[in-house]
Amino acid sequence: MSRAASAGPAERWFGDRFGGRPEGVWRAPGRANLIGEHTDYNQGWVLPFALHLGVTVAASQRGDGVLAIASRQAPAAPAGPPLATLAPGAVTGWAAYPAGVAWALREAGHRLAGGASLAIDSDLPQGAGLSSSAALECATALALAGLYGLDLSRRELAALAWRAENDFVGVPSGIMDQSASLLARAGHALLLDCRSGETADVPLDPAGAGLELIIVDTGARHALGDGRYAERRSECDRAAALLGVSSLRDVASLAALSGLADPVLRRRARHVITENGRVEETVALLTGGDLAGVGPVLLASHASLRDDFEVSWPEADATVDAAMGAGALGARMMGGGFGGSALALVPAGQRAVGTAITAEFARRGWPAPAFVPAVPSAGALRVR
Ligand code: GLA
């Protein structure tokens, strides 16, 4: 679905719920991550790109200080917290994401005095590891900044959306998803240095290379808040502390890991260090016009996430094996892990990979996976 086409449903939804025409419509995409997994909260590098699927928010200012939120995907559960009462824990469920953004803006000293009506529509699958929550936060952040004329850079908005997720919703994510949604450019991946915040656009044009990137939604559902993601974060923090560095980014070589007595912490740290290296390698390959050469790097990333970081899940492993057996150039699990989607790099128009994955799922008695083409798209924007 194109962005222009998707403004209509959100506008009509606004009319149904609040009456009249919204002052504006904003849209923020979900993301895929080409490579750089579990490196963001270790102050390392990531290389995500924006998807063509996302969240649209049709919005207007109000005069009563209320944040009225209605989602087309959850029509039975509208929310209407007064802005003045917003505090962590005060709003739960999906509405906590947009409410958290209003809270983070207020905490940063921005006035949204009259409140806002937000009509939300999404074409992103939820729980598929494509950052539907970050897209919701970022679309809300752009909408509120637009309605109230707030002078905030995309980077500042990403930091506020990230704060909403961490400090209001209570999910301890890194900064990758919000950055990708707000900062990515069409036809490019976004290289982000998660320590300095510096970014660079790296050309990513699968079609031009005669290839396709395919997202495989494995159907296994994950939740970043279920504790296992936080456990990985604290293992990384412990490893860094034991190695005497402020984050694993600062570990210069694998040799230094002999200083870690605990084999689990050693494996976790090894993943982060080698994954940072794989981001660098991928950027060099893409800059040199060799997308096909990225295939083996994706596969090495998967092995590291499966064996060293231990965040893969059976459906992702089966997807990667079936894809490689049917002629993919590379494949790996994507996102936080324990469920969600995998990414495969395949020759354009080649159907054998999808067929092989579907057949493998059927053989194992799993529900059929869903396939989403991953086209590097533009970051968030005002649709009208
Ligand atoms: C989730 C988080 C990100 C990042 C990835 C793993 O998507 O939201 O911040 O940590 O997991 O790379």
Q: What is the DSSP string of 163-209?
A: HIIIIII-----SHHHHHHHH--TTEEEEEETTT--EEEEE--TGGG
Q: For position 93, what pLDDT does the model report?
A: 94
42, 171, 173: residue to mutate for ligand 1 pocket, most atoms within 8 A of CB: 173
Whole-angstrom distance, CA of residue 74 vs CA of residue 283: 40
pLDDT of residue 212: 98
Model confidence pLDDT, tens digit, residues 17-40: 999 999 999 999 999 999 999 999
Q: Please enumerate in sequence order all residues whose Cβ is within 8 A of that of 247, keeping only pairs 6 or more positions apart, or say none.
A: 42, 43, 44, 195, 236, 240
pTM score of the predicted model: 0.96
Nearest C-alpha to atom 8 of ligand 1 is from which residue?
173
Mutate to test the pocket of ligand 1, among 166, 194, 224 (most ligand atoms within 8 A of CB): 224
Among 2, 47, 130, 52, CA closest to 377: 52
Pocket test for ligand 1, best of 137, 166, 177 (most atoms within 8 A of CB): 177
Atom 2 in ligand 1: residue holding the nearest Cα: 173
Percentage of the chain lying above the pLDDT 90 cut: 96
Q: What does the DSSP 8-state code read for residue 26?
A: E
Mean pLDDT, rounded, for 227-239? 96
Atom nearest to 40 CA in ligand 1: 10
Give the pLDDT confidence score for residue 252 in this predicted structure.
85
For residue 358, the CA-to-ligand 1 centroid distance in Å is 26
Look at residue 215 in the predicted model and tell me its pLDDT: 98
Cβ neighbours, 10 Å, residue 93 = 12
In this structure, the residue with its CA closest to atom 3 of ligand 1 is: 174
Confidence of residue 62 (pLDDT cuts 50, 70, 90): very high
Whole-number pLDDT of residue 126: 86
| Residue 226 banded pLDDT, cuts 50, 70, 90 | confident
Residue 24 alpha carbon to ligand 1 centre in Å: 30
| pLDDT-derived band at 4, boundaries 50, 70, 90 | very low
Give 59-107 as a DSSP string: EEE-SSSEEEEEETTSTT--B--BGGG--TTSS-GGGHHHHHHHHHHHH
3-class secondary structure, 217: strand
C-alpha 74 to ligand 1 mean position (Å):
25
Distance 38 CA to ligand 1 centre (A): 6
Taking the centre of ligand 1 as the mean of its atom positions, its distance from the CA of residue 17, in whole angstroms, is: 33
Tell me which residues have their CB closer than 6 angstroms to ligand 1. 37-38, 40-41, 173-174, 176-177, 224, 335-336
Q: Is 193 exposed, middle or buried (0-12, 13-18, 19+ CB in 10 A)?
A: middle
Can you tell me whether residue 142 is helix, strand or coil?
A: helix
Contact 53, 29 (CB under 8 A): yes
* Closest ligand 1 atom to Cα of 134: 8
**Ligand 1 atom 1: residue of nearest CA:** 336
Backbone angles phi, psi at 44, to 5 degrees: -95, -145
Q: Which residue type, as a one-letter code, is found at position 238?
A: R
Average pLDDT over residues 277-302: 98
Q: Which residues of 311-320 are buried (b: 16+ CB within 10 A; e: fewer)?
A: bbbebbbbbb
Query: Catalytic annotation on 250?
Result: no
Question: What is the reported pLDDT for 6?
Answer: 61
Mean pLDDT of the chain, nearest integer: 96
Report how far residue 130's alpha carbon sits from residue 221's, in angstroms, rounded to the nearest whole number.
11
In angstroms, what is the span from residue 373 Cα to ligand 1's centroid? 21
Q: Are 108 and 141 in contact (CB under 8 A)?
A: no
Residue 124 identity: L
Query: 177, 201, 205, 290: which is the annotated catalytic residue?
Result: 177
Which residue type occupies 309?
F
Encode pLDDT of 170-181 as tens digits: 999 999 999 999
Over residues 323-355, the pLDDT tens digits come to 999 999 999 999 999 999 999 999 999 999 999
Give the per-residue pLDDT at 2: 42
Q: How confident is the model at residue 127 (pLDDT cuts 50, 70, 90)?
A: confident
- Place 223 in a pLDDT band, splitting at 50, 70 and 90: confident
Q: Where are the beta strands (DSSP E) in the chain?
A: 24-35, 45-61, 66-71, 115-122, 188-193, 199-203, 211-217, 330-333, 341-347, 370-373, 381-382
Q: How far is CA 288 from CA 34, 99, 189, 292, 293, in A?
A: 16, 43, 14, 11, 10
**Which atom, in ligand 1's list, is nearest to the CA of 174?**
9
